[in-house]
Amino acid sequence: MDDKCAPSKVPPYLAALRAACPRCGQGNLFDGFLTLKAACPNCGLSYKSFDAADGPAVFIIFVVGFAVVGGAAVLEVSFQPPMWLHMVIWLPMSVALSLALLRPFKSLFISLQYRYDAGETRHTGA
């Protein structure tokens, strides 16, 4: 077996942080912000069968929601600032955190799909 076709030795979390190919850890996974490339330019792994769907968004909602609501609650209890200040702080933070986490979470889902050979559910009948 060729080294480029060998099973991944790259930990999924490292590949996700670098937005790299889940097999070789070298090629870029994305063509743009969230659009997957057709295949890895380094090892040729086709990305067409990977689909993160809404999984990354759900986890990001939990992470960002916890951080923003927790931070807003602590700020409110500690300093009782006016509502406009909450809006100025927490709305941009929500958007920035969500956008910052989208690529790594989508990469992680794709890396884990590759690692565990997860595909669509196959229903064989009743």
Per-residue model confidence as pLDDT tens for the chain (126 residues): 444 555 678 899 999 999 999 999 999 999 999 999 999 999 999 999 898 999 999 999 999 999 999 999 999 999 999 999 999 999 999 999 999 999 999 999 999 999 988 876 555 665
**Residue carrying structure tokens 């067409």:** 48
pLDDT digits (tens, 9 = 90+) for 13-23: 999 999 999 99
18/27 Cα distance (integer angstroms)? 10
Asked if 67 and 59 count as a contact pair (C-beta separation under 8 A), the reply is no
Task: Please give the model's pTM, rounded to 2 decimal places.
Answer: 0.85
At residue 34, what are phi and psi to the nearest 5 degrees? -130, 0
93/98 Cα distance (integer angstroms)? 8
Boundaries of every domain in the chain: 3-115
79/95 Cα distance (integer angstroms)? 24
At residue 57, what are phi and psi to the nearest 5 degrees? -65, -40
Q: What's the token pair of residue 30?
A: 């994305």
